[in-house]
Copies of this chain bind each other. A is one copy, B any other.
């Protein structure tokens, strides 16, 4: 394995693992907040702190990439992986922020359902990213990627069902405007997780 000879101070694997950790923090905290049913200023501040830490680590990865000549896998894949992992955390923060801006102080059961699927998917993302460290993990990484893809399909069906019911039952157009966007945002988190899975799969294939 090429990356055995990388100098210790530029361990992209550790950085990615840390970055995935912030996505897990965000997903877990998001589920906690929407499950408790009360979205307030302090929960948004906590989430913002997680998002900010994720930003910092993404910045470190990009900066290291610019300074490093030999990388454990293709530069463009490192760049893309850091970007997409950052987007996962950002998108979860965006949903909580939108709830606040739209003056929604209580999540509905649909959003709680989405929060669980998002947490599952982000956990699989962490599995996939952690596994990149060692080619012995190829099988478990591939399985995590398959699971992420499966959860994206689950999310698509959930969003369609929720939107269909929203247009069936909700008569207040302003409520439709709000919840339509929030369900679509929730599904977008799963899309971004799928993008991570694509990048990871690609890295696996190139290493094979």
A173-B173, A176-B174, A177-B176 known; A205 vs B63 contact (CB < 8 Å):
yes
* Cα separation A163 to B181 with both chains bound (whole Å): 14
A174-B173, A177-B177 known; A167 vs B63 contact (CB < 8 Å):
no
| Contact yes or no, B103 A160, CB < 8 A | no
Kindly state whether residue A28 has any CB partner on chain B within 8 Å.
no
From B101, B102, B164, B177, A173 is in contact (CB under 8 Å) with B177
Kindly state whether residue A202 has any CB partner on chain B within 8 Å.
yes
| Contact yes or no, A168 B66, CB < 8 A | no
Copies of the chain in the assembly: 3
Kindly state whether residue A8 has any CB partner on chain B within 8 Å.
no
0 or 1 for each of A195-208: is its CB under 8 Å from B? (1 = yes): 00000001001100
From B101, B164, B206, A167 is in contact (CB under 8 Å) with B101
Residues of B within 8 A of A174 (CB): 167, 173, 176
A66-B205, A202-B66, A205-B63 known; A101 vs B163 contact (CB < 8 Å):
yes
0 or 1 for each of A95-129: is its CB under 8 Å from B? (1 = yes): 00100111100000000000000000000000000
Kindly state whether residue A180 has any CB partner on chain B within 8 Å.
yes
Query: In whole Å, how far is A151's beta carbon from the nearest beta carbon of chain B?
Result: 17
- Tell me which residues from 46 to 94 in chain A have a Cβ below 8 Å from any Cβ of chain B: 62-63, 66-67
**What are 25 A-B pairs with beta-carbon distances under 8 A?**
A62-B202, A63-B205, A66-B202, A66-B205, A66-B206, A67-B205, A97-B160, A100-B160, A100-B164, A101-B160, A101-B167, A102-B163, A102-B167, A103-B164, A103-B167, A103-B168, A167-B174, A167-B178, A173-B173, A173-B174, A173-B177, A174-B176, A176-B177, A177-B177, A177-B180
